[in-house]
């Protein structure tokens, strides 16, 4: 059987939701059917070594030194000419536009990956909004566009992206890796010096305006005034100045000693297992890996109803309006007051929902079918 040669392009293999999903997809693709090369514009990144360990996958980096360093288009093109891919698959942002140029130059099919929805570009450099508009203008060119959420498809098509060749394939989680682990809760809590009987509510992800940690912290201040038995954990890192501002806000909210700033955590599965509730306070999401990973670990979630977050939790958690700390605090308190039997049932249902609808196996099967159909047409 002749393998389909797929050349994935992504800006970086540093930590992030898009990067994690690319790794999960590449790991899960059937290597008897696909020959896979992954090209990152910049070198290094926390996920690069993990991807390099995947059998049957070649990993390339093209030496871009920073965000404003020119994209190494000629190096990417030379590699594409060498491997002669059947498909060049961009993975979000500028990688989609570069995939279009490279794919058309070497006669390959072009696939775009869209992993966001309803972005507020006022929070970022103007280039981000400009490139979004460039994407809309070019969106008739790719042979296939894969959005990772229904919300993402609606947002992009309403913003001028071509809908005819756009499909939705939800993110997938490795449910063998992300799972409840006996003893992990207690072990992680000991590392954080959490007193016996304390309830833990966690937020996971980079410290970034779009994740809206400020709403999380304001909700934490409200709940802390009602319940002395609750602590809060922020897992993730970000720009120093922005992180310092969040910590100042926590102090102003009388949260000294109530919030653990865990930073980057090596044992992320242990960190999920340590929580009673995981929260996403984002003002924009496509399909949140964090919510899926937490639920796969058997942790119920309180989320803002953005992107497909409400769809993910279904009846296993609570969705509230974005930027509403009072509603978030009320949802936390309600869930913490559930009887243990109800909470146990919720944990079981949360994991089952990810296994049934958001597994890496389902994501890879749907992606394989779409890519095979694309090259066989």
Residue 128 has pLDDT above 90, yes or no: no
- Looking at the domain assignment, is residue 272 inside a domain? yes
Inside any domain, residue 52:
yes
For the chain, first and last CA: distance in Å? 17
Domain shared by 163 and 207, yes or no? no
Is there a domain that residue 61 lies in? yes
Per-residue model confidence as pLDDT tens digits over 294-317: 999 999 999 999 999 999 999 999
Q: Are 354 and 348 in contact (CB under 8 A)?
A: no
Residue 250: per-residue pLDDT? 92
On the question of pLDDT at 275 being above 80, the answer is yes
168 in the same domain as 28: yes
Would you state the pLDDT for residue 320?
A: 98
Indicate whether 177 belongs to any domain. Answer: no
* Domain shared by 117 and 220, yes or no: no
Structural domain that includes position 69: 4-172+359-376
In a domain, 178, yes or no: no
Q: How confident is the model at residue 93, as a pLDDT?
A: 79
Asked if 164 and 139 touch (Cβ cutoff 8 Å), the reply is: no
Long-range contacts of 155-159 (CB under 8 A, 24+ apart): 155/116, 155/117, 155/118, 155/119, 156/114, 156/117, 159/132
Q: How many domains does the chain have?
A: 2
CATH number of the domain that residue 29 is part of: 3.40.50.2000
Quote the pLDDT of residue 252: 87
Residues 2-40 have pLDDT tens digits of: 899 999 999 988 877 788 889 999 999 999 999 999 999
**In this predicted structure, what is the pLDDT of residue 49?**
84
* Residue 147 and residue 61 share a domain: yes
Residues 285/208/319/247 CA torsion (nearest 10 deg): 180
Task: Please indicate, yes or no, whether residues 203 and 348 belong to a single structural domain of this protein.
Answer: yes
Residues 82, 128, single domain; the answer is: yes
CB half-sphere exposure, 345, CA atoms < 13 A: 7
What average pLDDT score do residues 279-289 get? 92
Q: What is the pLDDT of residue 124?
A: 62
Instruction: Note whether 94 and 14 are within 8 A (CB).
Output: no
Residues 191 and 299 in one domain: yes
223 and 198 housed in the same domain? yes
CA–CA distance, 167 with 163 (Å, rounded to integer): 8
Domain contains 127: yes
Distance of alpha carbon 79 from alpha carbon 180, whole angstroms: 42
Same domain, 214 and 116: no
The pLDDT of residue 366 is: 96
Nearest-angstrom CA–CA distance, 144 and 204? 31
Residue 68: pLDDT above 70?
no
Residues 208 and 258 in one domain: yes
> Do 162 and 205 have their domain in common?
no
Determine, yes or no, domain membership for 179.
no
Distance CA 223, CA 225 (A): 5
Please name which of 169, 234, 179, 185 lies closest in space to residue 365, comparing C-alpha atoms.
Answer: 169
Task: Indicate whether 228 and 363 sit together in one domain.
Answer: no
Q: What are phi and psi of 266, to 5 degrees?
A: -65, -45
Q: Tokens in use for 160?
A: 């001028």
Q: Does the residue 317 lie in any domain?
A: yes
Whole-number Å distance between alpha carbons of 88 and 6? 6
């Amino acid at each position: 059987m002749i393998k389909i040669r797929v050349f994935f392009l992504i800006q970086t293999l540093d930590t992030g939701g898009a990067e994690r999903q690319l790794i999960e997809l590449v790991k899960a693709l059937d290597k008897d059917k696909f020959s896979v090369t992954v090209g990152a514009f910049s070198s290094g990144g926390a996920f690069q070594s993990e991807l390099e360990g995947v059998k049957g996958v070649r990993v390339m980096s093209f030496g871009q030194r920073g965000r404003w360093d020119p994209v190494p288009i000629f190096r990417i093109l030379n590699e594409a000419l060498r491997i002669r891919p059947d498909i060049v698959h961009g993975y979000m942002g500028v990688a989609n536009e570069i995939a279009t140029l490279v794919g058309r130059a070497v006669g390959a099919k072009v696939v775009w990956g869209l992993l966001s929805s309803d972005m507020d570009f006022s929070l970022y450099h103007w280039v981000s909004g400009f490139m979004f508009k460039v994407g809309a203008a070019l969106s008739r060119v790719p042979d296939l566009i894969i959005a990772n959420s229904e919300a993402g498809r609606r947002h992009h098509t309403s913003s001028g992206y071509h809908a005819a060749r756009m499909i939705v394939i939800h993110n997938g989680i490795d449910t063998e890796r992300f799972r409840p682990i006996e003893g992990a809760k207690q072990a992680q809590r000991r590392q954080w010096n959490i007193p016996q009987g304390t309830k833990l509510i966690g937020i996971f992800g980079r410290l970034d305006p779009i994740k809206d940690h400020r709403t999380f912290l304001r909700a934490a201040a409200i709940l802390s005034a009602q319940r002395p038995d609750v602590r809060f954990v922020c897992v993730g890192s970000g720009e120093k100045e922005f992180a310092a501002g969040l910590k100042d806000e926590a102090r102003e909210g009388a949260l000294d000693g109530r919030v653990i700033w865990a930073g980057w955590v090596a044992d992320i599965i242990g960190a999920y297992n340590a929580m009673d509730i995981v929260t996403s306070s984002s003002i924009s999401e496509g399909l949140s890996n964090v919510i899926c990973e937490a639920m796969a670990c058997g942790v119920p979630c309180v989320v803002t109803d953005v992107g497909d977050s409400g769809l993910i939790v279904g009846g296993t958690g609570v969705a509230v309006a974005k930027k509403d700390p009072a509603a978030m605090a009320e949802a936390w308190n309600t869930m913490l007051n559930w009887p243990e039997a109800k909470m146990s049932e919720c944990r079981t249902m949360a994991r089952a929902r990810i296994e049934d609808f958001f597994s890496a196996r389902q994501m890879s099967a749907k992606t394989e079918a779409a890519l095979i159909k694309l090259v066989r047409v």
